[in-house]
Chains A and B, each alone.
Chain A
Amino acid sequence: MNGFLAGMFAAALPLVAAGFWAGRRTARPQGLGDLGTPVEHATFQTLHTASLAAPPLRAGLTPDTARRAVRGLRTLLGTDALCLTDGSSVLTWDGAGEHHSAEILQRLGRIRETGRGEAFRIRCDDDGCALHWAVVAPLTVDDRVHGALVACAPRESAVLVRAAGEVARWVSVQLELADLDRSRTRLIEAEIKALRAQISPHFVFNSLAVIASFVRTDPDRARELLLEFADFTRYSFRSHGDFTTLADELHAIDQYLALVRARFGERLSVTLQIAPEVLPVALPFLCLQPLVENAVKHGLEGKTDTSHISITAQDAGSEALVVIEDNGVGMEPERLRRILAGEAGPSAGIGLSNVDDRLRQVYGDGHGLVIETAVGAGMKITVRLPKYQPGVHSAPGRTGPIPRTR
């Protein structure tokens, strides 16, 4: 029987949890109920209604958002019918008398021109219809009329005119905020486009110089390097998609390193340890290559012996952990901080801060670069890439490694 009781307890748990959740969802702030005078009560009530109507409109003026906002707005105004329109059509009508919408639409044109609200008598053939007056208040964003709020009432009322004007102004503010949201999104998109990885001009120059040096002595090697160079530039100039897979990014890094090795020969050694599970992970493209470029630069700077770079990618639950490490000269942490903050000027190279910015744009602030370094101690850069992020889809360049042209 003991087991039976335990089982019943287990069966009741989900129900209790569901009840708790439902309670949390439906609960209203009741605590304010006995606070203040009746006037203050009314104020609270009004503010509460207004705050409930606001969130849908923050997404802009569409039939869907208008439908969700209009009930709260009608409670706020206390009219028999309330309608929201955009420039040319009725988005939603709450309450009685929807047959008046055609007549109201006729008036809309004039309001768009003047930008001023008006109250007018509406004609009606239906004896049962109690609505005789309509108040139209424009919804303006940046001094342009985007739509109108129409309140209908049985008789003319100065109070209603005033109230409709105020509510329309309040709705306009929400729409302006929505507009602001939209431009912020556009700004971020533009920023991502602007941040699109660029390969460094030094690299182009150095590669061509190295290839030129091989043209006479070793034409085959020169041809191979030229093909690597062509492949790498095609990857970095490609026009479709902002994202790639880890496998393709590694391929590009390989081509980059082939060109670097041609210049520095045996002074550079690279070790890779890539968990095959994370190879299909999608990531902003050319966001690891600059880190490798950085490691190469630091590794070879001011040293004559060999430099060692290790690239590891691990599977860590719902994320992939990529670590790029070099044993080079390292960097003063304070200087690094300035570089990442973009205060170090263009000479410091835009690679690191560009990658950091793009990772934060795509995955959020929790996913920026983590860099461990000190002067003379090398540098270790860690990147955490979520395996799934809404909106991040790799545009497949190739499936699997392309055989080398020889």
Chain B
Amino acid sequence: MNQNYAVPAVALVVLATVLVGALGLRISRTTSDFYVASRTVGPRLNAAAISGEYLSAASFLGIAGLVLVQGPDMLWYPVGYTAGYLVLLVFVAAPLRRSGAYTLPDFAEARLESRSVRRLAAALVVGVGWLYLLPQLQGAGLTLHVLTGAPRWFGGVLVAVVVVATVAAGGMRSITFVQAFQYWLKLTALLVPALFLLLAWHGDGAPRVAFDEPAAFREQRTVRVDDTLDIKLAAPLTVTATGTVDGTRHHAQRLLLPAGTHRVERGTRLVFAPGDPVPGGDAGGSGMSTPLAHARQERPLYATYGLIVATFLGTMGLPHVVVRFYTSPHGVAARRTTVVVLGLIGAFYLLPPVYGALGRLYAPELALTGQADAAVLVLPHLVIGGVGGNLLGALLAGGAFAAFLSTASGLTLAVAGVLTQDVLPTRGVRHFRLATLLAVVVPLAASALVGGLPVADAVGLAFAVSASSFCPLLVLGIWWRGLTPPGAVAGMVAGGGSALLAVTATMAGLPGGGPLHALLAWPALWSVPLGFLTMILVSLATASRIPAGTAAILARFHLPEALYAGQRTAPREVQP
């Protein structure tokens, strides 16, 4: 990867983001015409902004990496990330907008008229936001590491600094334009190289790989091991090694490795022959890289359903998605926006699997060295090469950075907003800046402590927590009269709290295997029903505590705005 191209591309993206953010409003919205000034955000613009904020590192890099390593089972990720908006559209979008709530704690307070439910919701929003920020920062670190060889922590720090600096300098004046711009940037950055890669693949005779077989090397390939790793062999394999394998030094010797686990020290070169299956790797030797992969291999069906439940139901509780619905002028517009989001995101998610499939074909050794998340970035260089490959690689690098920046800034603002309103003592501009710093620094510190889960998996964990706490609150809050404040608190604590504990244990790399480990790694399948059930049962037990205004609140949630206003007032006077 030629860094002479990548670094300017990343710098350009950062600069463009800051410029559009600071100047976009001044250019497009300074007017003396009130009809121009009071034009609300249309569904298409808002949908592009939501998509831009939503498509994170997990979508841009992570899905391709997972498909590369584990094959077509991982296509459930893009399906789940998209289908979440369908559930949001059907059950939540319009009533949420009509509630007038800006954040999820606002919704909890508007629906249940209780400060304590609000505080709990705020705590969970911060938790989910931090969980979601963590993989973004780690992904940024990985990207810069692959592109320029910078240390792994550098990318995360860079993203954090850019986000905090823009907020401190007065914030994104035109956040909607920035995020919409980022969506189109990301789509272009993924689409154009994909077309060239497909052309190159076609020119190569359009080789096909059966997805069900383990990935194999198509030609003789030398793999340099940068970090000490354990490789697992299902069958004996002959390689040519230069360096240290299993504690013995070799110098360009052919080795017959028996089935089992072998330790390869850093700096070793392994040469594989064409047709060799790609062995499974376990980077770092610390035993905490991909616990999820083991759980998935052991119980594929359970893992898949866990993933489906988490992503389908988790989208509605993502703090940075919820705040964007406030921008829609009314409930119907919110619904229309969601439909457009489905289209935009669906189009985008056609692309990452292409990279995953091509990566399995052309760069299978990434699975061995534990850098599968970088597959998207290195493919043009491997497949096309030359200046063209470098340029396309630079475009992808820029797109990846757009993904980190947009999602990270959206999440940071959402978390910082909740921190200023519900956690820090008084409101004010200075407190908002402090909250921004707090919102970024905690996941940044955690990203240094907690080891590298695959980006898409780590995001999946945030979805699981959101699905088990906010999905019950939103769905029952909107569709069930019987919800009470104690019920909501109990449900959020039982569902969200247990999911949070399971997720933290998984991220910490709790050793062990077996059913318990699978349960912890994919909590949504039990924690979501637990959350719903607790919320319903406790609400039924405390039926006397149903808020007095429930009927009026639900009427406001569900009736179209014009109708609600008309029904509430006396017939209007004759209009001129």
Contact = CB atoms under 8 A, between A and B. Distances in A.
Interface of A: 1-4, 6-11, 14, 64, 227, 230-231, 234, 239-241, 245, 247, 250-251, 253-254, 257, 269-277, 279-280, 282, 314-318, 366, 387-388, 390, 392-397, 399-401
B38 A247 contact: yes
Interface string B502-518: 00110111110000000
Given A272-B30, A396-B330, 18 more contacts: A4-B288, A7-B507, A7-B510, A10-B450, A227-B576, A272-B34, A273-B26, A273-B31, A273-B37, A276-B39, A276-B40, A279-B329, A280-B327, A280-B329, A280-B330, A318-B421, A366-B427, A393-B100
Given A1-B286, A317-B432, A396-B565, A274 B37 contact: yes
A388 B110 contact: yes
B106 interface: yes
Contacts of A277: 41, 175-176, 326-327
B329 A11 contact: no
A27 B330 CA distance: 47
A14 B417 CA distance: 21
Nearest to A237: B573
Contacts of B106: 388
B214 interface: no
Contact of A280 (B32, B37, B40, B507): B40
B173 A275 contact: yes
* Secondary structure of the A contact surface, majority rule: mixed
A315 B569 CA distance: 32
A230 B508 contact: no
Contacts of B288: 3-4, 7
A271 B32 contact: yes
A14 B421 CA distance: 21
Contacts, number: 170
B433 to A, nearest CB: 10
B16 to A, nearest CB: 20
A279 B174 contact: no
B171 to A, nearest CB: 7
B226 interface: no
A10 B508 contact: yes
Contacts of A400: 40, 329
B510 A14 contact: no
Contact of A390 (B109, B508, B509): B109
Interface string B5-47: 0000000000000000000011001111111111111000000
17 contacts: A3-B451, A4-B511, A7-B505, A10-B508, A240-B565, A241-B569, A274-B37, A274-B38, A276-B29, A314-B173, A318-B102, A318-B420, A366-B427, A388-B110, A399-B330, A400-B40, A401-B35
A282 B100 contact: yes
B30 A11 contact: no
B84 to A, nearest CB: 23
B444 to A, nearest CB: 14
B413 interface: yes
Contact of B420 (A241, A274, A317): A317
B544 interface: yes
Given A272-B30, A388-B110, A393-B100, A6 B416 contact: no
B512 to A, nearest CB: 11
A397 to B, nearest CB: 8
Interface in B106-126: 106, 109-110, 113
B509 A4 contact: yes
Nearest to B549: A391
A149 to B, nearest CB: 23
B457 to A, nearest CB: 15
B119 to A, nearest CB: 10
Contacts of B565: 240-241, 395-397
Given A275-B25, A393-B556, A401 B38 contact: yes
B40 A279 contact: yes
A301 to B, nearest CB: 22
Contacts of B102: 318, 387-388
A314 B175 CA distance: 11
Contact of A317 (B100, B113, B416, B426): B416
A64 B32 CA distance: 57
B29 A316 contact: no
B501 interface: yes
B175 A270 contact: no
Given A3-B288, A230-B576, A396-B562, A10 B103 contact: no
A9 B509 CA distance: 12
A3 B175 contact: no
A239 B570 contact: yes
B561 interface: yes
B500 interface: yes
Given A276-B39, A276-B176, A276-B327, A3 B32 contact: no
Interface string B523-564: 000000000000000000000100000000000100001100
